[in-house]
Amino acid sequence: MGYLGKAMKSGLAIKAAQIARREMSKPENQRKAKELVSRLRNRGGARPSGRP
């Protein structure tokens, strides 16, 4: 199932990329992505690890 398996995996990868592109084109998801990026940028400095 080598060739067939690779073909199925590449087909799944293409489908996943199409779904991701479609979801990221939605305004509410773009807003959430921008908020995540700004949170990560504003984090600044060293993160507390929670370890003593």
Residue 42 to residues 10, 14, 20, 34, 49, Cα–Cα distance (Å): 37, 34, 26, 12, 17
**32-46 exposure pattern, b = at least 16 Cβ within 10 A, e = fewer:** eeeeeeeeeeeeeee
Asked if the structure places residue 14 within a domain, the reply is yes
pLDDT at residue 2, as a whole number: 79
pLDDT at residue 46, as a whole number: 57
Domain range for 35: 7-40
Averages of pLDDT over runs of 10 residues in the chain (52 residues) are 76 89 94 94 69 56
**In the chain, how many domains are there?**
1
Asked if the structure places residue 50 within a domain, the reply is no
Asked if the structure places residue 2 within a domain, the reply is no
Asked if the structure places residue 52 within a domain, the reply is no
Asked if the structure places residue 48 within a domain, the reply is no
Asked if the structure places residue 19 within a domain, the reply is yes
